[in-house]
Amino acid sequence: MLRFSPTAWAKLLFLRDYGETEVGGFAITASEDLLFVRDLKLVRQVCSWAHVAFEDESVADLFDEQVDAGLRPEQFGRIWMHTHPGNCPLPSQTDEQTFARVFGQSEWAVMFILARGGKSYARLQMNTGQGASLRIPVEIDYSQSFTGCDHESWESEYLTHVQSHNSKTLFNNQDEDAIDFLENEFRFDLWDETDDFLSQTQRQEERNDHDD
């Protein structure tokens, strides 16, 4: 099972909904549980509404920073995350090609996709021995304390790492109506969903307190 701390999940939703493009990054996991996501980090990337490409130098910078912080590569380089527009979190052919080429040499890796509509997809790939590939459930672990939202630093991280392709360039100015449709179709209200999540977290924490 892929577990998220409530704070990591809140950050993921914030980053997903901050702009109108896809966004991606790496999960940062606990040393004692490599499938427990306690944070996520963006790298510099160029994104459009349905595509995300990381800058190679920035990936290398992330590895340097995390090693300097005392983490092992399996804590920050194995869970590749990105978002999808609409409501389909299933991997595209591009996703599969990247996952096989980039993460196929590691002993294991996870591809995690979160769609704007809320559905998610996580697949664990084991590359040792016979190899194995399995869908794994995704859970927010409400037993972990919610350390709150840090919108200011999340926003700063987003703004310094995500470069948006102009959607009009993407579509080559051929069909302005189609662009308007897509932009409206994939526009979601950031605060509504984050607020929903926060009140859900609060309710769960109240239940936990009650149980205690």
Which residues bind to another protein, rule: CB under 8 A? 22, 24, 49-54, 56-57, 59-61, 63-64, 67, 72-74, 77-78, 80, 82-86, 88, 92-95, 98, 101-103, 105-107, 113
**Closer CB to another protein, 115 or 149, in the complex:** 115
Smallest distance, Zn ion to C-beta of residue 91, A: 6
Closest residue to Zn ion, based on beta-carbon distance: 95
* Minimum gap (Å) between residue 82 Cβ and Zn ion: 5
The residue among 56 and 176 lying less far from another protein, judged by its C-beta, is 56
* DSSP string for residues in 115-148: ETTS-EEEEEEE-STT-EEEE--EEE-TTS----
| Strands 108-115 vs 79-84: parallel, antiparallel or unpaired | parallel
Picked from another protein, Zn ion, none, the partner binding residue 126 (CB below 5 to 8 A depending on kind) is: none
Tell me how far, at minimum, the Cβ of 59 lies from another protein, in Å. 5
Q: Which helix (H) or strand (E) holds 201?
A: helix 190-211
d(CA 81, CA 119): 14
CB 45 within 8 A of CB 58: yes
- For residues 113 and 140, which CB has a smaller minimum distance to another protein in the complex? 113
CA angle (179, 162, 27) in 5-degree steps: 115
For residues 91-104, one letter each, b for 16 or more C-beta atoms within 10 angstroms of the residue's C-beta and e for the rest, the string is beeebeebbeeebe
Name the residue among 135, 114, 113, 115 with its Cα closest to residue 123: 135
The least CB distance from residue 9 to another protein, in Å, is 19
127 or 144: whose CB is closer to another protein?
127
Residue 57 contact, options another protein, Zn ion, none, Cβ 5-8 Å cut-off depending on partner type: another protein
